[in-house]
Amino acid sequence: GMQSHLQALLSLYKLFCPEQVTITLPGKMKTYFKNSEGPWKAAITAVRQRNQGASPLSQAVFLGTSQPQSRKRKWNAQLVIPASSANTNHLEEDREKNRLYLYSPNESFPVEQLQTFPQLLQNIHRLEFPSQMGSVLTNPLLLHYMNCVKDESIYLRLYYWMGQRLQEECTWCVVDNPCEEEFKSFLETAYKAECFLQEGFSACEEFLYKTLPLWDGICCRSEVLRLVSWIPLSSFPDIKPHLFDPLAQLFFTSSIYFKCSVLEALKELLQNWLNCNVIQMDLEISS
């Protein structure tokens, strides 16, 4: 049977290889695996303090993939870790060779070396995706890659990771989580990635459907309504109880500003639906 420690192990597997775990796991489980990133975080902090310089990597937004130990933990906005590939054993010896940014056909191209769009074009079939899926959201080159190469495993990894983060950090669902600014920043990052890809994330759609009935209309208002504008098109009976009914309750009991904000979000939602529908029709006609 499904024992708790086996569920925890499967959950850990699903975090990194969701396509390999097809069964449904419970959302709340006891933590069996402690966060092992403590020593690495301390070492990276020491290196940054020693260097005392703002490297280009320090400007990036890091979003980790490790499962949170507790709902009471806070996001560490000061820690920045570069996106890492699964295979980094030969980075030093490849550094000279990578100056021309061309790898041999049998070699993978680590994202640490990806700096320009021509590099992406030259190595798009050898690109090795980062272990930290959160770094994809803030990397335009990797978002271009997602648009060009429809790899289902990438979307599955990102879907499961974002679902975990949104569930654990939602400030109006987790009573003892006061980090509203960090959660706002995360929602804004997800929204910008959706605008870049011109499509909404399934994890964001599920998050909105689950949490809008509990939303007060105040917490992270602009960020939530922006995510609403990228909900994928589906039938009205499917959307009405999850989207329109919760918004209608808030609409009739809130201020004029909130009413205008909701109407603006729904207008953008309609525009996105129309644009997607036109693109789909063009593809069908051309095929």
**Distance from CA of residue 203 to its chain's centroid?**
8
φ and ψ of 104, to 5 deg: -70, 160
Provide the CB-side half-sphere exposure for 276 (13 A, CA).
17
Residue 109, strand partner residues: 127
In 3D space, the residue among 252, 247, 284 whose CA is nearest the CA of residue 269 turns out to be 247
Gap between the Cα atoms of 251 and 246, Å rounded = 9
| Contact present, 242 and 209 (Cβ < 8 Å) | yes
Instruction: Return d(Cα 241, Cα 263) in angstroms, integer.
Output: 18
- DSSP state letter for 61: P
d(CA 62, CA 79): 8
The CB-side HSE value for 73 (13 A sphere, CA atoms) comes to: 11
State the chain's maximal CA–CA distance in angstroms.
Answer: 64
Can you tell me whether residue 241 is helix, strand or coil?
Answer: helix
pLDDT in the model for residue 64? 37
The amino acid sitting at 79 is: L
User: Is-contact 65 137, C-beta < 8 A?
Assistant: no
Residues of the chain with pLDDT under 70: 1-2, 27-38, 52-106, 175-178
Q: Answer yes or no: are the C-beta atoms of 230 and 199 closer than 8 Å.
A: yes
Coil, helix or strand at residue 130: strand
End-to-end CA distance of the chain: 49
Cα–Cα distance measured from residue 227 to residue 1, given in angstroms and rounded to the nearest whole number? 39
**How confident is the model at residue 105, as a pLDDT?**
54
User: Is the CB of residue 131 less than 8 Å from the CB of residue 85?
Assistant: yes
Quick one: pLDDT at residue 181?
86
Reported pTM? 0.61
User: What pLDDT sits at residue 42?
Assistant: 73
